Chains A and B, each alone.
Chain A
Amino acid sequence: MKKVLSGNEAIARGAWEAGVVFAAAYPGTPSSEILENLATYKEIKAEWATNEKDALLAAAGAAMVGARAMASMKHVGVNVAADPLMTLSYTGIEGGLVLVTADDPEMHSSQNEQDNRHYARFAKVPMLEPSSSQEAKDFTKLAFEISEEFDTPVILRSVTRISHSKGVVELGERKELERDYGLVIKEDKYTMLPAFARERHRVVEERFRRLKEFAETFPQNRMEMRDTSVGIITSGIAYQYAKEVFPECSFLKLGMVWPLPERLIGEFISKVDKVYVIEELDPFLEENIRAMGYRVDVGKDRIPICGELSPTIIAEALKEGYKREEISYPNPIPPRPPNMCPGCPHRGVFYVLKKLKLFVHGDIGCYTLGALSPLKALHTTVCMGSSVGLGEGTTQVLGKEGLGKVVCVVGESTFLHSGVTPLMNMVYNKSNATVIVLNNWTTAMTGAQEHPGSGYTAKGEKTFAVNYVELAKALGVKAENAREVNPYRLDELEKVIREEVNKDETSFIVTKDAPCALLRRAIKSYNKPLRVDEETCTGCRQCLELGCPALSWDISKAGEYRTADGKVKKRKGAAAINPLLCNGCGLCYQVCKFDAIKGEEEEVPIGFEINKYI
């Protein structure tokens, strides 16, 4: 049976067909749907892990008792998992272990566009790179076979245009593995004391030699010989783009990008007049091929390193006489950037932080959008947990000078991922920083995945939920400095933040009763849309400072308005609320100093009515 599947769906399907029984991941675009799909198979114990390192270790622990196991993550997640990865290369496995890295060339939703092919070389493990959904499924199965044949973790590398593209896939059946899972005691293989590790390094090098031989005849490293005036060496999604532009040329299509098949590459190069290496991001293939002593006629000298490739970019860089008709609109086109949703619980926090003129160490999540106009209240973002980690050094150097000036803002999923240890570090080293955890009950940015504070597992079972205040207190934050606040109540929020940033001790604030406005399970009901009273709106634009998509500026309302004491004054326009978008969170009602924003009832609700299941 054939079906249209995304690369991520295909990877999950491949894992299921390969007999995988355990999978773990931390969500991250473009990888998140792999585990979401794995969780739909009853034969697979699929888990959201606290972070990528925990995911890889959990998968490795499953593999050590003989199971086939998978860990999936975005490219920067592999940085977090790199510590176990480097040594799991030494220990090897019992059951097959596959690490999926989903890279994000172009940074559609990432903080960098690192090329994770380097990790295969660094960790001395094989890496497969599919170029379509069909290959995503097939290569996942091959990855498990290679893993078990060579006693090594295998990395499967996807990119956004594989993970989030869809293509036709021929479905197969699941093959249950006929094996018993059990404890294996091999200290010299799994206990990496220096003496054992020295031996294992030799094993790794010997394995690498055998893998290089394997790569020479691996059927997914294949030559497609046509016109030999140009030969293109490529892999992954770049193969598809190159095929689109140069259907007449000869190709060496590498399904395995590490280790490389040196003799096969030499053979291919000897058959063609000119050699093009077409790859996305770094000159990984190119440099390795050059290091083998072969010539490369065209590579990164003409193909961009930055950003993702496309058929158009390749044609522009390499195709002689390429040109296309250009149709362009002559006037400015208003951009439509992502924005916090109407009713988002983060919006009020950034409004208050801006009002208090605080320096904000930010973090990875929807709330990174707090950096954009008009909120513009987030000043750094580096990696998961960076807000808390950076806040420590910043506050230590500024000392008392920094009091009342610095906060660290982090979502609760990111905080659990890698904000807990730097908070411990802060308390231990007597930082006076204030950490604000925006608890919206879910990993929102990646599409609402569960985490250890959400109360549910990846399989939808109820489970224990972390209590953030108790956690902070256990790390040493004083009880009077560990506070909860409803982020929709702006006065209270401002008061709590003001008090805590001025304390010369580590403070911890967590938002309460404010789930993600899209988390339907948590929101019992939205409120009726608010409206602008056109008689009294002064056109001061203060409500627009919230950056709510439901609020707009209406110049057709320029003219007169009436003050509270009955005077008639002039305005340049008035605010307007789009009733289709407004869900009545009540922020603009609080921000309006002129009582010009009204609800259906006299008393305007603040925040939403929620299901308190956590």
Chain B
Amino acid sequence: MKRDVTNILVAGVGGQGVILVSDIMADTFLEAGYDVKKSEVHGMAQRGGSVSSHVRYGKEVHSPIIPKGEADYLFMTEKLETLRWLEYCNRSTVILMDPIEINPPAVNLGEMFYPKDIEEFLKDHFDRVYTINATETALELGNARAANIVLLGALSRLLDLDERVWIKCILDRLPEKLHELNMEAFKKGRLAI
């Protein structure tokens, strides 16, 4: 399929700011002069369930959904969620992952185990895996909710876009009282890669 499009799959758990961070990405790519599309599912999926967003940019984007096997980046705000999106990946997909573990209900109820070998598995199957302690970093800054912006800082180092465009688009999406925190979070993320 068409390869002049960059595909970023963003996923995590409801409440982690998956949709917000993918909105910031889309704004940034538009601001940088690209065509951009993104797709996600709202509604029932929000209630503590898995949340994902497909973000695509390039000269011209048709489908808002990433074809399977063609994700260039997996942007994962929770470790286990990474495993749900493997069919969208190929060996050269770049994995960015917060190693935080949030137990799904079956693990909470003691019916299933949270897999312990995720990082090892990813390192065996992908050329580039970045584990970014985003939640931990955000907590040090005073608010775990800025973890998505830490991870975004890391992603921004891998994409060829002007840092100032990222910063403008982050600030445009957030209330002023959160600007300082998120700028710090973004910088920490940039230093993490």
Contacts and interface: CB of A to CB of B under 8 A. Distances in A.
Interface stretch (A332-340, A390-398, A521-529): A332-340
Interface in B74-126: 80-81, 83-84, 86-87, 89-91, 103-110, 112-115, 121, 125-126
B112 to A, nearest CB: 4
A369 B67 CA distance: 31
A3 B172 CA distance: 13
A402 B24 CA distance: 55
A462 to B, nearest CB: 25
Nearest to A131: B62
Nearest to B113: A334
Given A168-B35, A329-B83, A339-B48, A240 B103 contact: no
A241 B56 CA distance: 13
Given A164-B42, A165-B38, A327-B86, A244 B2 contact: yes
Contacts of B108: 544, 549, 551-553
A397 B130 CA distance: 63
A109 B45 CA distance: 8
Given A168-B36, A326-B87, A334 B114 contact: yes
B1 A245 contact: yes
B39 interface: yes
A221 B1 CA distance: 25
Contacts of B36: 4, 166-168
B50 to A, nearest CB: 4
Contacts of B27: 4
B21 to A, nearest CB: 13
Nearest to B89: A327
Contacts of A573: 110
A164 B86 contact: no
B61 to A, nearest CB: 8
B117 to A, nearest CB: 8
Contacts of A326: 69, 87
Contact of B44 (A108, A244, A373, A374): A108
Nearest to A162: B64
A324 interface: yes
Contact of B63 (A240, A332, A369): A240
B40 interface: yes
A58 B14 CA distance: 36
A167 B64 contact: yes
B168 interface: no
A164 B67 contact: no
Contacts of B83: 329, 333
A244 B49 contact: no
A307 interface: no
A315 interface: yes
Contact of B30 (A2, A30, A165, A332): A2
A345 interface: no
Nearest to A163: B42
Contacts of B106: 334-335
B63 A337 contact: no
B162 to A, nearest CB: 18
Contact of B109 (A332, A333, A544): A544
A547 B37 contact: no
A332 B112 contact: yes
Nearest to B35: A168
B178 interface: no
A373 to B, nearest CB: 8
B67 A327 contact: no
A511 interface: no
A553 B108 CA distance: 5
B49 A334 contact: no
Contacts of A325: 69, 90-91
Interface string A542-555: 00100101011101
Chain A: interface size category: 35 or more
A168 B49 contact: no
A467 interface: no
Interface string A426-453: 0000000000000000000111000000
Interface in A329-368: 329, 331-341, 366
Given A161-B64, A241-B65, A341-B47, A327 B87 contact: yes
Contacts of A337: 49, 105
Nearest to A550: B108
Interface string A361-389: 00000100100011000000000000000
B115 A333 contact: yes
A108 B43 contact: yes
B13 interface: yes
Given A165-B64, A312-B67, A552 B107 contact: yes
B13 to A, nearest CB: 7
A324 B44 CA distance: 31
A341 B41 contact: no
B67 A310 contact: yes
B39 A29 contact: no
Given A334-B104, A334-B112, A241 B63 contact: yes
B193 to A, nearest CB: 23
A324 to B, nearest CB: 4
A310 B63 contact: yes
Nearest to B54: A165
Contact of B43 (A3, A30, A327): A30
Contact of B47 (A3, A164, A366): A366
B149 interface: no
A168 B30 contact: yes
A164 B64 CA distance: 10
A334 B80 contact: yes
A266 interface: no
A324 B90 contact: yes
Contacts of A328: 86-87
Given A166-B38, A168-B35, A341 B48 contact: yes
A337 to B, nearest CB: 6
Interface string A142-176: 00000000000000000011001111100000000
A310 to B, nearest CB: 5
Nearest to A33: B42
A240 B64 contact: yes
Contact of A165 (B39, B48, B112): B39
Contacts of A447: 42-43, 46
- Give 9 closest A-B pairs by Cβ, nearest first: A109-B43, A29-B43, A553-B110, A324-B69, A552-B108, A338-B47, A165-B64, A338-B49, A165-B39
Given A237-B64, A245-B67, A324-B68, 11 more contacts: A160-B41, A167-B37, A312-B69, A315-B1, A326-B87, A329-B86, A333-B84, A336-B104, A338-B45, A341-B47, A544-B110
24 contacts: A108-B45, A109-B43, A161-B64, A165-B37, A166-B37, A167-B61, A247-B2, A310-B63, A311-B65, A327-B90, A327-B126, A328-B87, A329-B83, A329-B121, A332-B112, A334-B107, A336-B81, A338-B45, A338-B49, A374-B109, A544-B109, A549-B105, A552-B109, A553-B108
